[in-house]
Amino acid sequence: MSPLQSVLQEANLKDEGAADICLNCVAMSEDASSFACGTTCGLREYRLHPVQELVRSLPSSEIVTCVAIDPKSRFLPLATSSKVSVWDRSSATMLKELPTQSEILNLKLSADILAVICEFTVHLYACSDWRLKISISTCSNKSGLCAFSAKSSPWILACPGQKTGQLRIQFGDRSLKSHMIGAHTSPLAALSLSSCSRFVASASQYGTVIKVFGTERGQELHRLRRSWSTPAQICSLAFRGDGRMLAVASSTCTLHIFELPLHASNGLGGSTEKVLGSRFFDSKLTEAMLSVTGVARNLTDTTSSWHVKIPKVENHQIIEVAFHGARPQFSVLQFTHSSGILDEYGITRTGIQHLNSSTWFTSLASHQGQQI
């Protein structure tokens, strides 16, 4: 029996004798293929498409407040209030403890770098030797906002800058260059990097307009109008795998899908292109939409192409929205301390279609994920 199997068996035995197991935190991998959650009885890892529990591991007597996951990495970092423990997933052994002087609000993991996010600082550690590579000062960041690009090499990170509403793009090359983007006049509420690393999306605390910028030069490419008058807290921003769509979930339990046509001013060269994935949609309709809205050429506000009301179940909190690669499908992940739900949707010519719902966690120890 492998060390991980032994830990798994121990965790399952503890589960069988537990009256209630509660969720403390949930984190999506940067490539949106899997997610992990910290419970009162250790950690659990799940595959996202379709949702399936993969492993229960690392039972702990401490409350896990943050976790980060990269399915391609053997490392599994988790945090209590003031320290990070880095575990080896293959041997179920702890490799390193990284203490901090401030409360840890979030963790992000890429292939090369672990980001430890505190209210006023983002600490970046090299995964090769766990030495501190750089500490980035930010303005107050109580939401722990930070994002890596899933496929960029070297790594690229986005986080708040030192001024209110400012974005910092940090490049992981030898020069460790960075630049600032004056994105909003009010504090940031959400941000996301595309997996290709070329685009970054942000929303302010008002949540009426979402902006998309080019990461290389910081130029504003799109202004996406969620609402003309109704403020809302933006819960999640998610690019489709090809960067041609952006999903926006808000506290109103409404999810908007925006198309993001590429054009010459985005720095990629060439003329206006059809939306990638046009095989799923009528190309003439797509071209008509682009010519009418003039999305990125004139930076006029663009309204969403599709929107859907997300079922609100027992005050579940929307944590993440994730596209299925470059396909016209996406998932919405919600949880409370006692249960977790995943809703899956498909985008069609006529609108958004609800495909299924899965309960991936309940506080009952014997529960396994099932379709509902």
Tens of pLDDT, residue by residue over 273-318, are 333 333 333 333 333 333 333 333 456 788 888 888 887 766 667 7
pLDDT of the residue at 6: 41
pLDDT of the residue at 168: 97
CA–CA separation, 166 vs 148, rounded Å?
A: 17
E strands in 178-324:
178-182, 188-193, 199-204, 209-214, 220-225, 234-239, 245-250, 254-259, 301-303, 306-309, 317-323
pLDDT of the residue at 61: 61
pLDDT beyond 80 at 198 = yes
Mean pLDDT of all residues in 35-63:
80
Question: How many other CB atoms sit within 10 Å of the CB of residue 61?
Answer: 7
**pLDDT per residue over 232-246, tens digit each?**
899 999 999 889 999
Q: Give the number of residues written for the chain.
A: 372
> Could you give all domains of the chain from N- to C-terminal order, each with its CATH number?
1-132 (2.130.10.10)
Q: Which residue has the higher pLDDT, 208 or 268?
A: 208
pLDDT beyond 60 at 359 = yes
The band of 84, judged by pLDDT with boundaries at 50, 70 and 90, is: very high
pLDDT of the residue at 3: 37
CA–CA separation, 235 vs 210, rounded Å?
A: 12
Query: Residue 288: how many CA atoms within 13 Å on its side-chain side?
Result: 6
In sequence order, the 6+-apart residues with CB closer than 8 A to the CB of 269 are none
Mean pLDDT of all residues in 166-180:
91
Q: Mean pLDDT check: name the lowest of 71-75, 176-180, 189-193, 197-201.
A: 71-75
Contact between 89 and 76 (Cβ < 8 Å)? yes
Q: Which two tokens stand for residue 245?
A: 């769509």
Mean pLDDT of all residues in 92-110:
90
What does pLDDT average to over the chain? 80
H or E element that contains 350 = none
pLDDT beyond 60 at 366 = no
Mean pLDDT of all residues in 243-255:
90
Q: Could you tell me which residues are beta bridge partners of residue 275?
A: none
The angle at the Cα of 31, spanning 49 to 210, to the nearest 5 degrees, equals: 105
Q: Where are the alpha helices (DSSP H) in the chain?
A: 3-16, 283-293, 295-298
**pLDDT per residue over 103-147, tens digit each?**
999 999 988 899 999 999 999 999 999 999 999 999 999 999 999
Contact between 214 and 267 (Cβ < 8 Å)? yes
Q: Which residue has the higher pLDDT, 91 or 126?
A: 126
In 3-state terms the chain splits into helix, strand, coil percentages (rounded to 5) of 10, 45, 45
Q: Which two tokens stand for residue 348?
A: 């069609």
User: Dihedrals φ, ψ of 5, to 5°?
Assistant: -65, -35
Q: Which two tokens stand for residue 95?
A: 């490799």
